[in-house]
Amino acid sequence: MTKTLTILGIESSCDDTAAAVVRQVDGVPTVLSSIVFGQTELHADFGGVVPEIAARAHVEKLDTCVEQALKQANVALSDLDGVAVTAGPGLIGGVVSGVMLAKGICAATGLPLIGVNHLAGHALTPRLTDQVPFPFLMLLVSGGHCQFLLVKDHDDFTRIGGTIDDAPGEAFDKTARILGLSQPGGPNVQKAAENGDPKRFKLPRPLLNQDGCDMSFSGLKTAMIRARDAVIVENGGLTVQDQADLCAGFQTAVADILTEKSRRALEQYFALNPAKRTFAVAGGVAANTQIRTQLLALCAKLDTEFVAPPLALCTDNAAMIAYAGLARFQAGEHDDMTLSARPRWPLDQTAAPMLGSGKKGAKA
């Protein structure tokens, strides 16, 4: 007998308003729809995401986003088995908006409500796109997060390393601002780096001389500021070539850090003796060509399959939330109307908080 589950997913943890429908038939998931409304233009003049602006935009777009996702999937609310929603971590205003909408839908329809950790959505995406078997190693590398996770089940994550300060995506954005490039920083730094000399500036690779898989990118950002200022003092300003060389040096430094730390993380992962060695990467920074190329080469050298979901499913989206919710629902897990939005929600509850995680505790 065919077993079918259909889940609506809602995502609003940062600056993307998203809704999606995922259907699983006999264990094989399919994305029936995925709608994302971005907010890049709303935040462009501020050099980063403004929480209040983001929250207001979510309120304006969430219901429309859900309607479009249902229409694109050609399903009605009555065809759903549950509603999954990001309950954290994230900007609290946006998370609250999504949770309240999901509660409203569930109250009106009687559908089960399934709260999802945003990071679990990213971590389980290789299961959605490639049916990757447990356990696998995940590098979640984005604008707000950077960590290595041993993914052993839908709710079993062990963090073996992460950034103690800035996430790589944040460092890319700050580098773009430092050099006068437009946002989002990642694509524009990569574009400028294509014409640059990565060896011109001697930039540091923080924490490579220390054991373990923890990373740091704040010092690299500071080194970029000093290198830029030195050029400006010497030449009276920055040329396009100066920008390109600085971007190339920065991008190569980040790629080198991630590659070496990935090698160390893979050694720990191999100790689990997985039947199939798999290294998965998700998050917006995974789209960077140089980083992906170096990680691919590392995996080829270590006889490990490299999996990177399509870019649309690497960045924030609701299909990953729907799938993570589906996994919870299959395991007999769901929530009630007391589900609350959480600005901080570590995937690995047993790991010590990372340095720089704030007075309120670890975000991830």
- In the chain, CATH 3.30.420.40 covers 4-130+313-330, 136-311
Alpha carbon dihedral 106, 112, 113, 118, in 10-degree steps, equals -130
The dihedrals phi and psi of 4, each to the nearest 5 degrees, come to: -125, 135
Residue 298: predicted pLDDT = 98
Query: Cis (ω within 30 of 0) for the bond into 29?
Result: no
Residue 47: predicted pLDDT = 65
Contact criterion met (CB below 8 Å) for 22 and 82:
no
Residue 358: predicted pLDDT = 37
Give the integer Cα–Cα distance in Å for 116 and 224.
37
Residues 6 or more apart whose CB falls under 8 angstroms from that of 67 comprise none
Give the integer Cα–Cα distance in Å for 53 and 81.
33
Residue 318: predicted pLDDT = 98
CATH superfamily of 4-130+313-330: ATPase, nucleotide binding domain (3.30.420.40)
CATH superfamily of 136-311: ATPase, nucleotide binding domain (3.30.420.40)
Q: Kindly give the confidence (pLDDT) of every residue in the chain, 364 residues in length, as a single tens digit, with 9 standing for 90 and above.
A: 579 999 999 999 988 899 999 999 999 999 999 999 987 777 767 766 888 888 888 889 999 999 999 999 999 999 999 999 999 999 999 999 999 999 999 999 999 999 999 999 999 999 999 999 999 999 998 777 799 999 999 999 999 999 999 889 889 989 999 999 987 888 999 999 999 999 999 999 999 989 999 999 989 999 999 999 999 999 999 999 999 999 999 999 999 999 999 999 999 999 999 999 999 998 878 889 999 999 999 999 999 999 998 988 988 999 999 999 999 999 999 999 999 999 999 888 887 776 544 333 344 5
